[in-house]
Amino acid sequence: MQITLRPWHLDDLYHLVELANNKNIAMFMADVFPHPYTTENGKTFIGFATSSPNSKIFAIVIDGKPVGSIGLHLQTDILRKNAEIGYWLGEAYWGKGIIKNAIEQIVDYGFKNMDIVRVFARIYGTNISSQRVIEKVGFKLEGRFEKTIFKNNKFLDELIYAIRKK
């Protein structure tokens, strides 16, 4: 199975909405990733993904079809040598090594094409799967902040993982 990253296109809208309209994905995302996920949400996302100068956001593609999304978001000011990684994968594709491969690809892309030395991830303390996969790629836990995230009417721990350019 070949996993590639490519820019989002408006023709991906149907697949995007079909995959993203899933509460099991939304529960680990920032609130800007809504549930239910509508066609309007998808159009807004594709518009942002294709025009944001400070973010590189790609579709994760298998057999020509998007199965998720991954991006690097450049930081500013004193953090300008850092990028935050964000990603999600359609639930039908979980547990197949796809997101690990996509994370490796985008980290490599970021270090080669962006003026950064560190990629970091902010992961919910309850998202064990994301913690495991990011560790497999080589990210190290840099910090745990107790109950800083407020999601679904609960306070959750925030874990900061990072990988540095060699």
How many CB atoms sit inside 10 A of residue 151's CB? Answer: 15
pLDDT, position 11: 96
Q: Amino acid identity of 82?
A: N
Helix (H) or strand (E) holding 164: strand 154-164
Residue holding tokens 């799967």?
129
Q: Please list, residue by residue across 72-96, b when 16 or more beta carbons sit within 10 angstroms of its beta carbon and e when fewer do.
A: bebeeeeeeebbbbbbbbbeebeee
Q: Is residue 18 part of a domain?
A: yes
* pLDDT of 1 strictly over 90: no
pLDDT in tens, 78-133: 999 999 999 999 999 999 999 999 999 999 999 999 999 999 999 999 999 999 99
Residues 6+ apart with CB under 8 A from 36: 21
Share of the chain above pLDDT 70, in %: 100
Position 75 in a domain: yes
Residues 6-39 pLDDT 10s: 999 999 999 999 999 999 999 999 999 999 999 9
Overall domain count for the chain: 1
Model pTM score: 0.96
Task: Kindly provide the residue ranges of all beta strands, DSSP E only, lying in 28-139, ordered along the sequence.
Answer: 55-62, 65-74, 82-89, 118-124
In this structure, what CATH number is given to the domain that contains residue 33? 3.40.630.30
Task: Flag whether 138 is in a domain.
Answer: no
Could you tell me if residue 159 is inside a domain?
A: no
Q: Do the domain assignments include residue 56?
A: yes
Domain span including residue 100 = 3-117
pLDDT of residue 123: 98
Residue 87 within a domain: yes
